[in-house]
Structure 1
């Protein structure tokens, strides 16, 4: 597993820089810091840097991840992935740019970004963070050139300050303070959120959670102390899904924590084989707020 020399990872125990050294006896890689704290890669290629009490947050299950991997792998959200890449890649330096994909999930959005960067001749060191080991098993295989870490986004990020050129957050929690700390002053934060009406026809049938009104206003308010909105873009496109694809869609998101797949399938049995819906997203680009002059 290659580790870009400029990837600014820090040890979660002592905050010293970590490096990839040697090989695990089973053939896997190892991260180690100057104090000797080491973290072996899992067989699938990701690292778990959570120490101490770990995390109290509920990670996505294997069933949720399997559904998401299948759905995204079939290209249903490809227009969104391309929009994220288009928002990030042109702003990256040609050499040694660093991208953090926070809440990387199965890694599909980062994959499209890395491919777009490579097509433009830009060298990118990428870090994918997620709390679900099931998701990172998929992400590590899809993005072997990235470093994929199990991590709790609400803990201090294991990265140096002012070291990241872009942070992407697609349907994941947002730790504004930590994003501001690790981003360079010239960096960008790209956040994707669903808009009201997103997948409404599928949600009505399957029992998925609806999109709350005012979500965008709350996002901007939560980021305002540390970030300024640079641009917003709405991304809408139609979806024509089979009943099985609609079931994958329902299970793969937050609703998958409480929905039963068999019950979802039963609800869909009385509906046409092709279910028409619409994806409605908002992509917001933030730049770090400039410090106030005294």
Structure 2
């Protein structure tokens, strides 16, 4: 039994990016799961979750925003004692250029729709574990992205060369949710069909927009340690990513990864739960950033009423 910490969660799903095609990062954005008790099974029902991440990048021509709407169906099926939860999410990446004629225009880029599922187990004594599997359908509806200067001249493409391949996502998480705590560790792997290519042909003057691109598989770690005080939730977070292929031909050439640390504040609104978290780069071989994220979690339907005293804020 999860007592007063009901798992709510969902998949905050998308990716990082830079202004050049020479750097690649996991499709699943590092930190997308902090604040969620991803190891704990959800009560049966339907849940909506939206996470927005803003990356203010040091010494960069642009900042990055990522919006991740997610719909979760926690089904009545519990094979071998683990609840089956189905998820769908269509993430979008935004870039915000910095001014002047040579500055970059703002753009939006669709990440391939994510479809997947979670198999989550309540182990008793407020401990839970879960397994996740799914795929970002980049070959179906993922964009490559093109950056153009404010004066109309071409700057860089593709922005997200990772999306030249479907991304196969696998994860394992463990959570402790007793006494108002959320202590969660979540590992997420992204696997690619490398090399990957976009459809079409290269356009003269627009660089190598087609490919093929050699994409590095990667591993993310998201850590949460928070506690609830009445309607408030306060605690620490940390997250990072590691690229496996950093050879000269890889999109992640010479980029082993990065790690960030910060804090989280949440509040139970009754009809929903809101969270805000801020993190700063503490180690990196790519870029440094300050990241501000906001999340809203809304339970849409449950076959059995949820007690008012039991705030819904849980998992992914």
TM-score by length of 2: 0.24
Higher relative contact order (CA 8 A, sep 6+): 2
Higher helix proportion: 1
Higher strand proportion: 2
